[in-house]
Structure 1
């Protein structure tokens, strides 16, 4: 260092750069900054201490040692006064080196340690003074942030590995971990003994460098440690402090760890209980003793006094790295179960009384199991017999309807069959096209099977008549189930003015074709006609050109049909605008009963095949979980109202993937207010979109709501019925 000083002193460039502001023309050893100095030394020295003070307030630099050394050959009172005032600043060391042999005068003005550049006596001790480590402290202006939990470690024997592991848990555990930019002076407190003397060590937190700083402190802590007695009185006093801390009241979460090998001697001298235990405190005991004896003398007693159980985060574990690394509860919300160690093989005592009790319980369980299984099997067989009996009775009443078709074995058990020679399909006249079927114009020869169920005069029109024939693209079990549901639904519904009739089925080219009541068009086509007419007239934004009276009449009739359907204990599940048919007089008729059945039908459970065929844009949120009710039809009807008052637009039109639509609906999204809807109508829609099914409107209520609109709504001359039918 002296050699470096001589180089600096002999360097002209260095003098010009560094010493130019500190040289003076005076002859005395004591000087003040010149009044007209360009760069006076006092403010320069003050800026150095201001910088050090700033470094002491930042987590990334607070732990570093700051050293200020004054090199001079005279006393600048402005500089020494500032250095004297700041010599006690935390985490910094102030020293002085003077280029004179006699520094007696300098001692009078310097309150910090100074040396003479020419004094070579005891150079090693002086070098150590320059290199010594300082005791770390937080400065008075440091902003500290308290963590959500306190950490305390009690140690009765020198075990740096366990201490380092526990401290690492505190820095990484989700309960105690702190941000790298925050600081806290009492992050972890350690109580330990050295040669029967108990010490208290407080470890701070100042960001990512805290771990290395702590590891260095712990290494120095036990560098000269000599264990003279394993379980001394000091060790027992530390354990006493640990037990007292467990029982002491606290307002925040506290984690206590006891690292010891003195649990067995301690238990011989003390009795443990659960009196006044504070359950905001989580403790664990880490011991190096034999775990079998520890269990008998400590763990079992803790269990007996309910201090160790599944609902509490208390532990007694062996002191090895496997358990400390993998099964620590320190500063963690949860942890995996600790495997048993050195478990003893247990054998059941051979006592006649126990054997008889076992035999009795086995007999009782066997009787209950056989009885339960017999009842379930009996009920299942009875249900099957009732179904077969009902089918045989229907066959006896209508034997010809159940005649099997040779080329279509899948449908031999389905009723309402029409001979294929009695149905003519005009494949050149396509009425409608769908994803799984097409609808063609057809001609029925003879009576429709439904006439055998409904004996009404107006039903005679379904004999030797034109019909709509739905031809599936393929016929598998899902299509067969839909056909079954249509037949069963029509048996319950029979006849209603606003229910489209399912007339029967026939087999063509190994495909089962459904015969439906022929109507003029469906609601979707009618809405497109209105929209097209508005576009031709250039009045697409003019609400006065919307045939509201006709639309509300269709809505009212749909509500009437759905109310009747619900009265027959059926849920439609596929209520959309395309399934609302319109006669030549624009009377609404509900169709599409392929998914219509009881509300509790298990075929529509969560993740079922039938559920995948339903249109997701019209389904209520609970339907995706397999829960259908009358109120789920109310949701679908509200979506249908959106179609009506947007003149045929799809709901959630920007979403194309079904999973995106399902996620959006489940998160609470509903269609926006349609362009041509009134506020009153959208209010009805919002009530049908209620997330709680029981609070949605029923169709009887909506029937009463929309009935006045069929009479009070004005009539638009631009949309005469005859004009639309042309």
Structure 2
């Protein structure tokens, strides 16, 4: 208490003023029991328009955490231009995080700004980078990540409490369409995501879908692809065959991942390649194995999946083509529908007149079209990430086995 009183008096009397005019903040070092000043860090010019002070942020409950980061639900004051609090999601690093993890968070913030705005991409609302902990602040998506949302849709009681969980074929197509539109924008901007999966897609009110977690994303303008860093782990069941074998990341690799996301959507969160461990998947993919058509999955969607999983990257469809194909499926199955995400949809009433739909991102199914199978694809809790070094050892071992097998065949 005495130290705090001294700090306040000292600050008021100007005892800690700096000749440089540089803004400082005051902190008590409990271990050394002394008071010192620490200059605020320089804000990157790209981030400056989004920079806010930490005192504008109120962290509430934890939403989730990974190996290095935590996401909180929070309130941000004043970012909308009004003197009010806005609900937000706040991503930050864990205590004691390495410098490279903090730098990755800063790079993700910059990339979100550089990538620009799209209705199906998470937008950076604000950031705190003048001092640690760094905060990446985005809009709050009420229903969380798509993977867990889909799995909650399996439980009938959830649909009874909230109609959004009554997901049938039309809603599944709507989700797939929104992801394709968002990824089409990313692809046209000559970026790749690098980790497209249902766990990295968020669900908001009105079944609004937004792609998030651009931590592995990058600009591919110069070469059209990028190789993964040697120390990175890869989510092998979502990775393209060229990413697995050669570490090559590209927008064509995102298309492969989208095919796996389609499997997740149309199995309501089933685990891809059920019963196949990641380390054994490599050989099967090289031999041409692809997942079977999920029960209840439309033939047209499974055809898109197989196109996404073409071994030759250049043979895979572009996201804009996928978006148009899914859009056509929605039109074919709908009584009424508007697919312009920024436009106004209309509903035909019984007397033949039309009325605007209040929520633009709802995909409306024909009456009686809600059909979900009780024979759900399995959910398997497993570690799907493999380090590149381990992966290379697996591939090297398989190559040696192939050479030996070929030699025996020639004898």
Question: TM-score under structure 1 normalisation?
Answer: 0.37
Kindly indicate whether the alpha-carbon contact (under 8 Å) linking 1:643 and 1:649 is maintained by their aligned counterparts in 2: yes
Q: Does 1:527 align with 2:150?
A: yes
Partner of 1:385: none
Q: 1:574 Cα shift?
A: 1.2
Where 1:528 maps in the other structure, the secondary structure is: helix
Contact 1:403 1:412 in 2 (8 A): no
* Aligned mates of 1:462, 1:551 — CA distance in 2: 39
Query: For structure 2, which runs of at least 5 residues remain unmatched after alignment?
Result: 1-21, 28-37, 161-165, 334-364, 372-411
C-alpha distance in structure 2 between counterparts of 1:687 and 1:536, whole Å? 33
Provide the rounded CA distance (Å) in 2 between the counterparts of 1:684 and 1:696.
Answer: 9
1:260-339 aligned within 5 A: none
1:420 aligns with 2:41: no
1:573 equivalent to 2:207? Answer: no
Aligned to 2:393: none
Tell me if structure 1 keeps the 8 A contact 2:120–2:182. yes
The alpha carbon displacement at 1:520 in A equals 1.5
| Distance change >3 Å, CA 506–CA 700, structure 1 → 2 | same
**1:80-99 paired onto structure 2 within 5 Å:** none
Mapped to 2, the partners of 1:661 and 1:405 lie a distance apart of: 53
Coordinate RMSD, CA, aligned = 3.6
Which residue is 2:317 aligned to?
697
Asked whether the 8 Å contact 2:126–2:136 carries over to 1, the reply is yes
Cα separation, partners in 2 of 1:462 and 1:705, compared to 1, 3 Å: farther
Shift of residue 653, structure 1, vs aligned partner: 3.4
Q: Residue 155 of structure 2 aligns to a residue in which SS?
A: helix
Corresponding residue for 2:70? Answer: 438
1:627 aligns with 2:248: yes
Q: CA deviation at 1:405?
A: 8.0
Cα gap change, 1:560/1:603 in structure 2, threshold over 3 Å: closer, same or farther? closer
| 1:41-56 matches, cutoff 5 A | none
Which structure is richer in relative contact order (CA contacts within 8 A, separation 6 or more)? 2
Aligned mate of 2:91, from 470, 476, 490? 470
Larger fraction in helix: 1
How far apart are 1:582 and its partner, in Å?
1.8
Shift of 1:676: 2.7
Structure 2 partner of 1:344: none
Structure 1 residues 663 and 513: alpha-carbon distance in aligned structure 2, compared to 1, 3 A threshold: farther
Residue-by-residue CA offset, 1:155-176 (whole Å, 9 max, x unaligned) = xxxxxxxxxxxxxxxxxxxxxx
Measured in 1, the distance between the counterparts of 2:146 and 2:249 equals 25
CA contact (8 A) 1:422 1:444 kept: yes
Cα distance in 2 for partners of 1:462, 1:707 equals: 41
Closer, same or farther: CA 697–422 of 1 in aligned 2, 3 Å: same
Q: How far apart in 1 are the matches of 2:238 and 2:93?
A: 23
Which deviations, in whole Å up to 9, do the C-alpha atoms of 1:384-427 show, x marking residues without a partner?
xxxxxxxxxxxxxxxxxx9788999997554344321111111x
Please tell me whether residue 489 in structure 1 is matched to residue 105 in structure 2: no
Cα separation, partners in 2 of 1:592 and 1:433, compared to 1, 3 Å: same
Q: Give the conservation status (yes or no) of the 8 Å contact 1:547–1:716.
A: no
How far did residue 682 of structure 1 move? 0.5
Alignment of 1:503-518 (within 5 A): 503-506=125-128, 510-518=132-140
Q: Does the 8 Å CA contact 1:581/1:591 hold for their aligned counterparts?
A: yes
What is the number of equivalent residue pairs in this alignment?
296
Aligned CA distance change for structure 1 residues 461 and 643 (closer, same or farther; 3 Å): farther
Counterpart secondary structure, 1:561: helix
Describe the SS at the equivalent of 1:654.
coil
Residue 409 and residue 554 in structure 1: after superposition, are their counterparts in 2 closer, same or farther (change >3 A)? Answer: farther
In the alignment, which residue of structure 1 is the partner of 2:351? Answer: none
Separation (CA, whole Å) in 1 of partners of 2:229 and 2:256: 20
1:439-476 CA-partner distances (Å, limit 9, x unpaired): 221011222xxxxxxxxxxx668973111112333532
* 2-structure distance, mates of 1:685, 1:410: 50
Q: Which has the larger radius of gyration?
A: 1
User: What is the distance in 2 between the residues matched to 1:479 and 1:413?
Assistant: 18
Structure 1 unmatched runs, 5+: 1-401, 448-458, 538-544, 721-726
How far does residue 436 in structure 1 lie from its aligned partner after superposition? 3.4
Structure 2 vs 1, CA of residues 660 and 412 (structure 1 numbering), >3 Å: closer, same or farther?
A: farther
Q: Deviations over 1:489-523 (max 9, x none)?
A: 22233221111112233369943232121112222
